[in-house]
Amino acid sequence: MTISEEAALEAEVIDLRRALENAQRATARAKRRNEELVEAVYQAAKDASLVQPRVKVKPPKPQKKSKKQEVALIHLTDWQAGKVSVSYNTDVLRRRIDQMIDKVVHLTDIQRAHHPVNECVLVLGGDMVEGLTVFPGQIYEIGPHLFDQLFTVSSIIENCVNNLASHFTKIHVVCEYGNHGRIGRKGDMPSSDNVDRMAYKIAADRCTHLKNVTWQMSEDWYQIATIGNYKMLIVHGDEIPSFGGQTPSYSILRKVNAWATFMGFDDCMMGHFHTPMSLTMANGGRIWVSGSPESDNQYAKTFVAAVGKPSQRLMFVDPDKGRVTCEYVCWLD
């Protein structure tokens, strides 16, 4: 190699290094802008929530019957707050979740006629917000934007917990985030930097005065809900690929069976697919897929030719025998 070629190569390396440094600085600036934007939205929603007075709740007296008690297990998921369709918006969401809590109380009272049900586990399954840039064209299906979605979801969760706290002596809230809560397109930010998690944190901060309520949340893509001798794996469901928009029953079974070999749980619960269904695992455990309170999803109509009826799920667990004893799909249309 001649001296002139070496000089040209060295100059090229310098140019490439300079371009790389510029790209790294630009990436860092963009990341800071995203993080600052997310932090600003979160702080604004949190500050707005502080303006609202806290509700005083009186826990009920526990049932004292000779029979063994069971625990209510409530799965609220895929609210898609911010989505607007012919029959769905934020006001409809509020009414349907209020209806769901009324059904929980009514069905629990039916169970209590036979045995005590003093405690409940409330699972928040993710996709509580619609998000902003999850898929192309989404912006045309959204009414409230990120701030309003975050504030709405946190206030509805707080209302749910307040209502349940007046009917159960102990409530444990298990929080899992979904794909609609992510910031930007997939891979732009860490998956745990999620609007669902922000809403959960605001609601938890608003409920610190409720001494009979505990919260479970983390950066993990899954949670384990433990009820006595019973363990349930909680995932959102986006970890399982869907081909052609169909609910991938075989893929769900294969993935959950694989998880069961090393994660140690009895059953699994997920949302994401907006279609209530149940499957039986190889070890005899169950997989429950819960529906969504939304309706008239135009994407589902055009892409998969399906219209799910709005619903959420309620079950009852025997903590000693470690199994689900009763299950309800609560229709909300």
pLDDT in tens, 116-136: 999 999 999 999 998 876 555
Average pLDDT over residues 45-62: 75
Taking the model in full, what pTM does it have? 0.83
- The more confident residue out of 15 and 77 is 77
Helix ranges, 135-220 (H): 146-165, 195-206
Asked if residue 253 lies in contact with residue 281, where contact means CB atoms within 8 angstroms, the answer is: yes
On whether both 102 and 42 belong to a single domain, the answer is: no
On whether both 144 and 186 belong to a single domain, the answer is: yes
Residue 105: which CATH number? 3.60.21.10
pLDDT at residue 297, rounded to an integer:
72
Number of domain units in the chain? 2
Average pLDDT over residues 166-170: 97
60 phi and psi angles, rounded to 5 deg: -75, 165
On whether both 231 and 256 belong to a single domain, the answer is: yes
On whether both 73 and 143 belong to a single domain, the answer is: yes
- The more confident residue out of 243 and 157 is 157
Instruction: Tell me which residue has tokens 């298990």.
Output: 174
Asked if residue 267 lies in contact with residue 286, where contact means CB atoms within 8 angstroms, the answer is: yes
- Local structure of residue 68 (DSSP, 8 states): P
Q: Is the pLDDT of residue 305 over 50?
A: no
User: What is the chain's alpha carbon radius of gyration, rounded to the nearest angstrom?
Assistant: 23
CA distance 246 to 248: 6
3-state secondary structure of 220: coil
On whether both 112 and 7 belong to a single domain, the answer is: no
pLDDT at residue 304, rounded to an integer:
47
Which residue pairs from 98-107 have beta carbons closer than 8 angstroms and sit at least 24 positions apart in sequence?
A: 98/159, 99/332, 100/76, 100/293, 100/312, 100/330, 100/332, 101/160, 101/163, 101/164, 103/314, 103/328, 103/330, 104/72, 104/74, 104/164, 104/314, 104/330, 105/163, 105/167, 107/314, 107/328, 107/330
329 phi and psi angles, rounded to 5 deg: -95, 115
On whether both 42 and 185 belong to a single domain, the answer is: no
On whether both 91 and 41 belong to a single domain, the answer is: no
The identity of residue 208, as a single letter, is T
Average pLDDT over residues 177-191: 77
On whether both 92 and 24 belong to a single domain, the answer is: no
Asked if residue 85 lies in contact with residue 297, where contact means CB atoms within 8 angstroms, the answer is: yes
Task: Give the pair of three-digit tokens for residue 65.
Answer: 């019957």
Q: Which of 248, 303, 243 is nearest to 275 (CA)?
A: 248
Boundaries of domain holding 221: 59-331
On whether both 93 and 227 belong to a single domain, the answer is: yes
On whether both 78 and 8 belong to a single domain, the answer is: no
On whether both 139 and 206 belong to a single domain, the answer is: yes
On whether both 81 and 162 belong to a single domain, the answer is: yes
